[in-house]
Chains A and B, each alone.
Chain A
């Protein structure tokens, strides 16, 4: 009897796994989903990989296939797409979610719950905003080298965040946390179409040496869940300096007809909240270490006084761009993207209770004091400039 029961249990188990399995050639691997505004609600665009083309088996086929459907409900639209797609869309390998600029301006809140809740999505994809265009237009571009455009964008975003500061990757949980937080606002990197032409959505674009490309550059500032504007490249960098999100970047200064380029190898940021005459103020201490990468002219960099002056000049420049960024956030957007509100929350929790409801307005009045300390670490492989007149 016991054995029979055991056998029956095992047999019953066999039917449990059944419906979960799906063959790899029955699924369409979705790389990206773009969400735009349409008349009746959303216009959802799926970018699906065509593995045959990507692996070179059918080089004439387009490497990506777009499925577009509009409707009122996000999940319903996604299922409706099966009308067009021969395969079930598979979301676990998704790289990016792109919001059209229009819909980003109207608010993205209603869409986010779906990405958090739906079990098929992993949480490692990045959110982007199509700058000056629709998500659909961005997704249909076939980019050279890495033909699946969103794989390219994903990689470009990761490398540019590491080696060039003005972008910021943001995943679902960070995005949601920033939206629901009272003292913080999200920023999303913008994706732009460079060099647009009418062949950009066909394999012909791959034949052009200077065809259409996608670029991730500046940051889009959100106030809560609405896009309110774009930071310039310098401001985007400054933003990353202040939130201590710079691993490495490049900067230059002008010093007496010389241009000195330096690579920042360490960029720290310490933020401190203090009370000044009964009013809140923020002190941001930026500490910078850079290597000199290149100079023009005949500056003798081995001279410690000159290095000292170069450092001073860098501090000056950095202070200006950081102040500009803060000023723009305050004046143009009225959005505390730096998370100063959270600092105050931690430093003065009681006081925070009174101001948190109107924080974005309070923020415009908040004095932010930026101090920069720059240190030169290394002069690179040579000391004096190669053009310097020797003694």
Chain B
């Protein structure tokens, strides 16, 4: 069986006849088997119809109540009785002929399939489809009337914007795909589905734009997805962990986003997107280090402002990574590098602090991590309590009590705030984690250790790959036009190329001259 099927609306899939676990011709036997296999759950509905006017026709409609759309079920039932009225049918038809009548009718209804084995039947049934079985015929029709409760489209909770669309993905793939599709109305947009998770049978959708995405990358991701053998996929995080190039690195190699416009932009740059049913985070890849420091909003503001903000983000990443380490190194190894007046001030603050700088830093950074985690997990109602404990007890009081120095509280605050500037939370986690390694290096070897760490980190980043594309791509290996959209956000009218190495297309993105001509600028009457 093909795992990937194109999304084809209103078309019956005809699969080859079954080999094992076939549906029998006896309806009652089939129903018994379904009940037995499913353990006769309370929410299964099995309706057996025996129309009066058509003697000998018995058919059953089976669905799981909790997965289907109730109004659809009603209209479906009405429709079925309608087509069995004498004017529509020939009397004494064989079950096979009835099957064909039903099938033709369902063509006009919703997405439907037919199949002949129990495995497919159960999969369809549990995916919220209603199953139509006819006594005396060994095939079934499944009609998609899937509907579950889900939240409405809201602003993303983790990736806020000032300017730009505020729609966010929800936990329903169909809705998510529609959010992207409505942004890219192009015949080359491809969506491929597959089911993963041997127990959960979760629907995964792979989306890309043909001719813009690189074929090798799409083939590779298809291969990797097909190799996933796991019992469940509960969130896109599962996919990320299972297919990423370097399993042990904690740097994210697939970008996750809650924002449809970000995904659309990624698709247009030649990346692919992976939608996981039940997850509001959509993955895109190949994602490079620099991508994690960019936001979709960068492209909605003036390019100089965006460039400034990007520079700010790089600085903050740098600060989040190095401030505590450099502070430790300076205070324990390189006092001569601190300006004298600052040294006096720090020395005075540290007077009476019982711990060495390193222990003090570890303590405060640790407390900050605890606070951050507590802030996420705690019930919303006790939010104010955490901020009081965090800000007052651990900040002010710790300094007053002489357990930590005020300078250390400042260092921790700078680190914390800087780390929140990193737009992608996975990247922020990675940066925060490495910071501790740098602190240990700084405490042992001073700035020498910090620089060794920088070298090691650079080597590590250069080694990483995201779906075969080197992680540090636009910088090393340097691509010709890649740096136009890294730290600097080039104006749209100059950024003509798609990222090299990712996109398979080299058609220009923009191809226009300045519409405001010099003449218009000089002519005051024009305005």
Contact = CB atoms under 8 A, between A and B. Distances in A.
A52 B351 contact: yes
Given A13-B445, A92-B336, A23 B344 contact: no
Contact of B353 (A17, A21, A25, A57): A25
Given A21-B332, A25-B353, A93 B347 contact: no
A29 interface: yes
A20 B444 CA distance: 9
A151 B343 CA distance: 13
A17 B446 contact: yes
Nearest to B449: A17
Contact of B351 (A13, A57, A90): A57
A281 interface: no
8 contacts: A17-B449, A22-B332, A22-B335, A24-B343, A49-B347, A54-B344, A92-B335, A95-B340
A157 B80 CA distance: 103
B186 interface: no
A20 B333 CA distance: 7
A95 B344 CA distance: 14
A51 B336 contact: no
A208 B259 CA distance: 69
A24 B348 contact: no
A158 to B, nearest CB: 13
A7 to B, nearest CB: 14
B336 A29 contact: no
Contacts of A122: 336
A168 B345 CA distance: 30
Given A51-B347, A151-B340, 7 more contacts: A23-B331, A23-B350, A25-B353, A51-B343, A51-B345, A54-B344, A95-B340
A165 to B, nearest CB: 27
A148 B351 CA distance: 18
Contacts of B333: 17, 20-22
B348 A57 contact: yes
Contacts of B340: 29, 93, 95, 151
Contacts, number: 72
Contacts of A29: 335, 340, 343-344, 347
B296 interface: no
Nearest to B452: A13
Contacts of B352: 25
A51 B444 contact: no
B348 A27 contact: no
Contacts of B353: 25
B24 to A, nearest CB: 61
Given A24-B335, A24-B350, A92-B335, A17 B444 contact: yes
Interface in B315-370: 331-333, 335-336, 340, 343-353, 356-357
A209 interface: no
B347 A25 contact: yes
Interface of B: 331-333, 335-336, 340, 343-353, 356-357, 443-446, 448-449
B336 A23 contact: no
Interface of A: 13-14, 16-18, 20-25, 27, 29, 49, 51-52, 54-55, 57, 90, 92-93, 95, 122, 151
Contacts of B444: 13-14, 17-18
A14 B445 CA distance: 8
A151 B445 CA distance: 31
B335 A54 contact: no
Query: Among B347, B351, B443, B446, which residue has the most Cβ atoms of chain A within 10 A?
Result: B347
Contacts of B351: 25, 51-52, 57
Contacts of B343: 24, 29, 51, 93
Given A14-B444, A17-B444, A55 B348 contact: yes
Contacts of A14: 444
Nearest to B440: A14
A27 B332 CA distance: 10
Contacts of A51: 343-345, 347-348, 351
Contacts of A54: 344, 348
Nearest to A57: B348
Contacts of B448: 17
Nearest to B441: A17
B327 to A, nearest CB: 11
Query: Among A18, A24, A52, A54, which residue has the most Cβ atoms of chain B within 10 A?
Result: A24
Contacts of B446: 17, 20-21
A14 B443 CA distance: 10
In order of increasing CB-CB distance, the 10 nearest A-B pairs are A92-B336, A55-B348, A51-B347, A51-B348, A17-B445, A21-B332, A51-B344, A25-B350, A24-B331, A93-B340
Contact of B356 (A17, A23, A90): A23
Nearest to A14: B444
B349 A27 contact: no
Contact of B332 (A24, A49, A55, A151): A24
A274 B236 CA distance: 88
Contacts of A17: 333, 444-446, 448-449
A16 B335 contact: no
A52 B335 contact: no
A121 B348 CA distance: 23
A23 B357 contact: yes
A17 B346 CA distance: 23
Given A21-B332, A27-B335, A52 B449 contact: no
Contacts of B449: 17
Contacts of A16: 445
A29 B340 CA distance: 9
A83 to B, nearest CB: 22
Contacts of B445: 13, 16-17
